[in-house]
Chain A
Amino acid sequence: MEVNPLNIFFVKSDSKGDRLLFRYPYTSENKDESKQKKFGQHNPYAISSTEDLLQNSQTQTSNICKGQLSGFTDEMLSTLFAVKAELCNRKFELKVNDVRFVGHPTLLPYRTNKDDTAAMILINIVFALQASASHSIVKCYYDLSKRLGKALRHEEKRCSYLTEEMKIMLAAHDEVSALDSEVNSGENDDEEENSRHSVSSTTFSLDNGMCAVPKSAFHLILQRSSLARSMKSVFEELSSTGIVQVRINKWVLLSFCLPHKAHQIHNRGLIIEPETIDKCVQRLRPYHGILLMVNPNDLLASIPLDGSPALLRLIKLYSPLKSLQTLAIDAGLTLTQAFQLTGHLVYWAKATVIYPLCEGNVYVVAPGANVHIDSPLVDEFAKEFPGLCLLQMLSEFSLPAPLWYVSRGAWGARCGGRPARLVAWLLRRRLLLQLHTYVQFNSPHWPHWPRNNIHDGKEYICEKHDLYYQSTSVSYSSLNQVQLNVPEPVETRESINTFPDSDEDYPTQNNLNQTDFSHTQPIVIESENTKYEKFHEIDSANHSFDDGIDVVDGVKPINGCNIDKMQKIQKKVQGNSVDSGISNNINGNGINGLENNHVNGHGEKENGDVKKTLPSRLSDLSLKDNDGVLMRDTSSDEDRFGSEPDVSPRLKNGHGFMNGLDKKNGVSLNLKLQSEMSFQSPTVWSAPMGCDATDACRVPSDPPTTESLLDTFSAEERVVLSTMPASENPDDLLLLAQLHKKGYFRGEQHLEEIMFMENVSRSQLMQLLDKFKDVLITFETEDPAVAMLYPYQ
């Protein structure tokens, strides 16, 4: 592992010369072993030819032996690390063969015992790394060395900590070398010279057969000096987790994270460089969300007392279902702050970036996923989700389908109606990767477009989306039907025979409309259905754009939706009371009651709603209210906030809820930034155009915007567009032109991004894709910002 340090050294240099005061690990190789190594490879019968220099094997090319540093005496090292004054207070980087030393030599004033005149002393805390370690690893170690130096300088200034510690260390060295010279005095004097080089690190009791001699000066130092112990723990924490939390002199807290290593706590073999994280943060968008790698309570507990309150708030309000925008608004942060905090959490391997969980998300098995049958993940998974098998689960995700579809499979019932928890688990281990749909304006410069074939193909592709989302929304609104709602008869079904897919059994996107829905239908039982509905509501609460319903473009749909939701809630409460399984799952503590209350409260509002039809805003509000509770509900469910009764987030949630509508109002209005926007400005495409589309293509119509919009198409493209029946609807055409002009159809932005940025609902986009399927093609791939944090070979 090139991430791990090989060794840590502490060197001082002052008027009395340089000295290696401490190193860890200090059990360097045995003398005789190294001797054997040196000469053992030689053939004892060979004539040693001193002239043959090029063949001379005494050149040492490696200084690493069995993962330990070798071939350097302590004295050599101390001369190397005691740098000249010119190199102080800057990066020190030295590479010898395959070892790289990095440190930050710190020059600091230091009080000598006799007089109070401040002399300068140089200390250098050096890490030995493998030379192959990447530059960003070296940079992190440099940073750590620098911080250690600063901490020591501070402590020296405050209470002469360094002076005291150095005294202890020097005393230990002297003690041992005194003993050593005693031992050696009777023996050969020639060894005397060498003894100084090696005395401190060798366990020479073996050589001399004297058991009374202490093992090594470093051993003594480790027992006596707290600084040495701190360094030892730095080294050990670096090699084990990559996260260092050390209090120097029980005063200065030094927390440091080596992200290359830290991410391996959760995912073995996953190396994430800080540069990657920076890039990822740059690409973050408000619709992204975060997924904590650890229990939020543990995380809160581990944050030092002086931790940023913004971070605390963010974590308390965290839910994998929320987008960063929502989180930022909830926590009262600016988006930039939220992004930075996200970057921070990712850096410390406490979180990863996801697209917020919702049922419309399409997941597949990640390319680097470990699917070995003996991997520890299998057991972990079985423990976490009894009755489920990780590998079978992954095979369910082998073909892309929206989550709601997958979760209706066999495991939907068994995972206790909490697919979100399961998916979050899989995402944390980087076993799943989300696919997004990207749209490309595929301008056919070809006049004789082979219409039939392509038409079929296109219909295929686009239909699948429609089908998915239609059926989501349909099954959603028609709650009383237990059966899955079969969408409108699919025309392409006749063509099954012409397209015999070998994998017809799988509900893939492409052949979904081929496969008969009865395949998947009968498994749906009531309890499961309610669970599913519940989940769906939850996510729709946070991502209004996902179900394509509650993005407000008129009053009507909202009202309808709202009432739907009322029904659903009632339904859900029923479900809870009926199905004991669920209420068990919800960890007790009064969630039911809360819900009931809420629903009651809702009853009133429903009335209100029914009375005044005005009020998209009001309905919006109530809708939000609704969602709020549900959301809380799952977030507690999800991350076991609920399992500990008096945890602040929960408390806070409850508080927020009690606190009543005023606050909520504000939040909901903010939250619905999108919907508000649609109130504010009647967007361009809804402007009436009033002339035939074919005309519109050729002759620019009255509003200048339209003209300029249509200019984005080339002449050929206009011709093709004009032949399409869909162009006759000016609204559609305008939407197309507008999105095209803004560059959304270059295969670089996924549907969710378009929906977010342009305030379009998914259904609108789907319809557009369907109507212009001849020129818009789609492909599915990962979001690069999210995929960046995955291990790729």
Chain B
Amino acid sequence: MTTRAETQREHDHGVHTKYTTLMSSKIMETRYYEGCDREGPIRCIFLGEFHPVAGPKISCQFPEDYVSKELFDAISAYIIPKPQMQKCTMTINALGHKIVGYPIRIDNSRYERNMYLFNLCFVCDSWSKTVQYEPVVKKLGEHLTIMEEETGFVSSCSTKLPTLLAHLLHDLNTFRKATLVEGETVMHLKVLEVRKDPVAVHDHDVPVLVASVGLPRPGRPPPPPARAPEQSQEHLDVDDDEPVEVDMDADWDLTTRQLLPYINGYNHISKIASDANVEKTLVKSCIQNLVYYNVVMLIPVLMFNNMYRATPKLSRLFSDLEMQKSCLSFITNDCDTKEKPNIARVAGVLCALQQGSTLRAVCERHAVSAAQFDVRRLVVFALIHGLVKCLRRFPVYVRNPSRPNGFSARADALPAAGGVRRLFTGLHSVDEICCLARVDMVTLDRIIDEDPNVAVIWR
């Protein structure tokens, strides 16, 4: 096995050196490959049209000669497709380029063939994600259609067109938005980032403001080890990210502004809704919106009889000094006057959070009191950074060996029990059941404990 380990090490080493040589020779480009799921800049914008004599051709492009004649000829079928295909976003990925277009046909007798076909296309690298440009290309196409119909702007091959394209390319790449004024038409264009659909928000979810937990941001990879000279840069980043909080007071919509004070990392949606006196569905869609933009993250309700389990990411806390720092500053936020906890202590508590011991037990065992740090903040921090995971409890109704539970006979049977037990399907965790059935945890625990046909699964 030593040989195995050695070969592995050798292999790693080999890969590493190969990688670095590649890196040095071809700068950063080698890191982009097809399917890397990253956005790339627009390399070129061109206008293709169907010339009555010459057939498909590029009537204008910026920068000049980016798309060669050969390339265009190879893909012209997708730039100027058959007349039946129009007004659909078409993306062709060929010969190292990815070209997004929106072919348009205008039927009018003033054109030589009674119709005019054109297409304004964005060219990107083949590794780049281009979904985000599709709405922009489409909107541009629609506007150009209007302009063409009104003034023949496109077909006359206006001299303004090259500058317009250059302007567009520059603004979209640098500011990700552009405003074009041409005659009476004003076009506002913005590249919107396409993200994954946000998860559904439940009554029992707890939103946490991501900005409040400090750096490093959750989900970010650990910074490279040689970080010392970049320290100032790092702080710049902090400043960059900080305004998110300022913005939140100013720019958000009314509902969000109303809700923001109640988002503290401990209140769940139902509670926020009732405290802020906002309708619950409204709260949910508002929070979902914030989740989409990564302003908040959802975590389970913090309870002292919850169980938590470490994830493999926990080891990052031991190696990443940045994270240690931010962890310590976050957990001592409320009581910074007392003696400061050290990271070893914190790590001890986090490691003790194992499946099988509740948060309460861990606190008692480690004598964690408010004196040193707030254990609740520690749990929130660890959850946000994925260092630990909260285990959820699922009561399930096991029908198989049905045993009499004696509820019908008993006088003190809880009135809510019957309805609640219908929720023991394995789809709902106890948190969820509490919210759905409007019972408190104590009652629910009693119902679960008293029924021999209910098994509890933690996962």
The distance in angstroms between the C-alpha atoms of A91 and B35, with both chains bound, is 13
Known: A60-B88, A286-B4, A372-B425. A509 touches B356 (CB 8 A): yes
In chain A, positions 386-402 with a C-beta closer than 8 Å to chain B are 389, 391-392, 394-395, 398-400
A440 to B456, CA, bound (A): 32
Write the nearest CB–CB distance from A676 to chain B, whole angstroms.
11
Set A87, A285, A440: member contacting B95, Cβ < 8 A: A87
Inter-subunit contact B145/A454 (CB<8 Å): no
Question: Of B81, B356, B426, which one neighbours A508 at CB under 8 angstroms?
Answer: B356
Interchain CA distance A87-B72 in the complex, whole Å: 12
Q: Is B35 in contact with A93, judged by CB distance below 8 angstroms?
A: no
One of B214-222, B246-254, B394-402 at the interface: B394-402
Nearest A residue to B458, CB-CB? A398
A373 touches B88 (CB 8 A): no
Binds A, one of B255-263, B312-320, B408-416: B312-320
A444-B344, A461-B352, A781-B311 known; A453 vs B366 contact (CB < 8 Å): yes
Contacting pair B95 A91 (CB below 8 A) = no
Q: A747 contacts B318, CB within 8 Å?
A: yes
Q: Which residue numbers of A lie inside 8 Å of B, CB to CB?
A: 53-54, 58-61, 63, 73, 75-76, 79-80, 83-84, 86-87, 90-97, 134-136, 138-139, 285-286, 325, 335-336, 364-367, 369-375, 382, 389, 391-392, 394-395, 398-400, 435, 438, 440, 442-446, 450, 453-454, 456-458, 460-461, 498-503, 506, 508-511, 673-674, 677, 746-748, 756-757, 777-782, 784, 787, 793
Q: Which residues of A contact B145 (CB under 8 A)?
A: 53
The 6 A-B pairs with the shortest beta carbon distances in the complex, nearest first, are A508-B356, A135-B35, A747-B315, A86-B74, A395-B455, A371-B426
B34, A135: Cβ atoms under 8 Å? Answer: yes
**CB atoms of B92 and A93 under 8 A apart:** yes
Q: Given A80-B78, A389-B398, A442-B344, are A510 and B459 also a contact pair (CB < 8 Å)?
A: no
Known interface pairs A364-B459, A373-B425. Does A499 touch B93 (Cβ–Cβ under 8 Å)? no
Q: Is the CB of A135 within 8 A of B37?
A: yes
A91 touches B93 (CB 8 A): yes
* Surface stretch bound by A, among B151-159, B176-184, B226-234, B357-365: B357-365
What residues on A are CB-neighbors of B94 within 8 Å? 87, 90-93
Chain A: minimal CB distance from B98 (Å):
9
Shortest distance between the CB of B149 and any CB in chain A (Å) = 8
For B360, list chain A residues within 8 Å (CB).
Answer: 502
**Contacts known (A508-B357, A781-B314); A674 close to B1, Cβ less than 8 A:** yes
Q: Do the beta carbons of A502 and B78 come within 8 Å of each other?
A: no
Query: Which A residues are in CB contact (< 8 Å) with B87?
Result: 58-60
The one of B70, B319, B357, B399 in contact with A86, judged by C-beta atoms closer than 8 angstroms, is: B70
Nearest-neighbour CB distance to chain B for A495, whole angstroms, equals 9
Chain A residues with CB under 8 A of B361: 499, 501-502, 510-511
Evaluate contact between B355 and A782: CB separation under 8 angstroms: no
The number of residues on chain B lying at the interface, defined by a beta carbon within 8 Å of a beta carbon of chain A, is 77
Q: Which A residues touch B457, using CB under 8 A?
A: 365, 369, 371, 391, 394-395, 398
In whole angstroms, what is the CA distance A372 to B77 when docked?
A: 52
Contact digits for B305-327, partner A, Cβ 8 Å, 1 yes 0 no = 10001111011001100000000
Q: How close is A392's CB to chain B, nearest CB, in angstroms?
A: 5
| Residue of B84, B354, B356, B401 touching A779 (CB-CB under 8 A) | B354
Q: Which residue of A lies closest to B94 (CB)?
A: A87
Chain B residues positioned under 8 Å from A787 (CB to CB): 312
Distance in angstroms between the alpha carbons of A453 and B425 in the assembled complex: 42
Select A391's contact among B1, B95, B398, beta carbons within 8 Å: B398
**CB of A177, distance to nearest CB on chain B (Å):** 19
Query: Which residues of A lie under 8 Å from residue B396 when comparing CB positions?
Result: 371, 373, 391, 395
Chosen A-B contacts, 26 in total, with CB atoms closer than 8 Å, are A53-B149, A60-B88, A76-B84, A79-B77, A80-B81, A80-B85, A84-B73, A86-B74, A94-B78, A95-B90, A97-B88, A365-B457, A366-B459, A370-B426, A372-B426, A373-B397, A373-B424, A382-B400, A438-B310, A443-B344, A450-B367, A453-B367, A461-B351, A503-B356, A510-B352, A777-B347
Contact in complex: A365, B459 (CB < 8 Å): yes
Q: For residue A370, which residues in chain B have a CB less than 8 angstroms away from its CB?
A: 426
Which single residue of chain A is at the shortest CB-CB distance from B366? A457
Q: Which of B199, B310, B364, B458 contacts A780 (CB 8 A)?
A: B310
User: In whole angstroms, what is the CA distance A787 to B95 when docked?
Assistant: 38
Interface presence of B383 (CB below 8 A) = no
Nearest opposing residue in chain A for B70, CB measure? A86
Whole-angstrom CA separation of A440 from B93 in the bound complex: 49
- Cα A391 to Cα B398 in complex, Å, equals 7
Decide: A440 and B351 in contact? CB cutoff 8 A: yes
Are B455 and A95 closer than 8 Å at their CB atoms?
no
Q: Which residues of B contact A400 (CB under 8 A)?
A: 354-356
Q: Is A96 a contact partner of B88 (Cβ separation < 8 A)?
A: yes
Hey, which chain A residues are within 8 Å of B82, CB to CB?
Answer: 75-76, 79
